[in-house]
Structure 1
Amino acid sequence: MYGTEYEVANGIFPGKDNHNAPCAVCYTSTKSVKLMIPARTSCPSSWTMEYKGYLMAEHYNHRNNKVYECVDENPESIDGSEASTDGALFYFTMSTCNGLPCPPYVNNRAITCVVCTKIAKLMIPARIECPDSSWTMEYKGYLMTEKYDHPRNAVYECVDENPESVDGGEGNTDGALFYFTRSTCNGLPCPPYVNNRAITCVVCTK
């Protein structure tokens, strides 16, 4: 197991290049939901901002390419860890106009991020309303996931009924794919379900 080093040569984190990054795990009984938003520096109006910073990950061609992490804009480092061991490495995630709309994105610029918290979040399949008035509806839409016979059948996601897309992103690359989740009377009671109908969903918070 290796420490994770900052690989920062662009001046954003001065004096941190090759230093190991520390981490902290925090708990509070009043917040149960965390939201990380790439390419933003502020939270939605009903959320609390915990910190903002830069989106970082391993280099794109590293075999153990990891998940993206939002690293605080005021990073700390471990004393005495400046030796370059090249174990796990943190690189800034940079924008590219090959796939992102420019503007508003700027080519080869470090992407920001923000981490926000809230008390609770609930996603309800087959509903378009929240349980009661104590919940706030964030959005409603359709339950989507990979096709049932794909090897990497992924988790279900509630996709907004008014989806946005990236201009110029209409090329068919067959990477990760989103299909509507449909009801079937083979296992679901019909009625109230209707055979072969797209299943709705709602996301609520409080």
Structure 2
Amino acid sequence: MWRTFKSTGSESSYKAHREFSNHLSCIIREARFVYEKRIPGNKNPRSIFKHIRIKLSGPVRSLQLKDDSGVAVHEGDSVANIFADTFVRGVIVEPPLKDLSLSSKYNPDCIEHPSFPSEIVLGKLKKIKTYKSAGPDLISANRGFTLNFDGKIFQVGRPSPLNVVWIWMFTFAAASPRFFQIF
């Protein structure tokens, strides 16, 4: 039909082409509507990816935002404020001020007495590198610090943040059995 219109240039062939094109667009729109209605109940995972591909193949458009009075908003600050208000209403829920206290209820799912056998702790301490080059603080591994654990002294190298975290965690866990309690 388009070729006929291009060759003849008549008004009737153009109207026939437009009518046919509009009819096809209507069929496609109805088929897409039926397909999109079936997606939430469909258990086939491939259909949702097909739906996403179809949606991404079309033009990308932004929604026309309207403020509380119904006027279309185009400025950046106003658009950001509308999104922020929507986010705050839907996501942020603050507790009342009178309930701001830690829960002291007993949780039966927590770990009562985590056991750290000394073999595991000693193994972790032995794996800490003792020979490191001097860092930005110019403390070499030879001038590192020692740790006394279970009657044994360990040279743990220079005090890097990772070493300090490991040592703190194992020392604190050994001293406090409720360290890993889940609130």
TM-score range, shorter chain: under 0.3
- TM-score, normalised via structure 1 length: 0.18
- Higher-strand-fraction structure: 1
- TM-score, normalised via structure 2 length: 0.19
- Higher-helix-fraction structure: 2
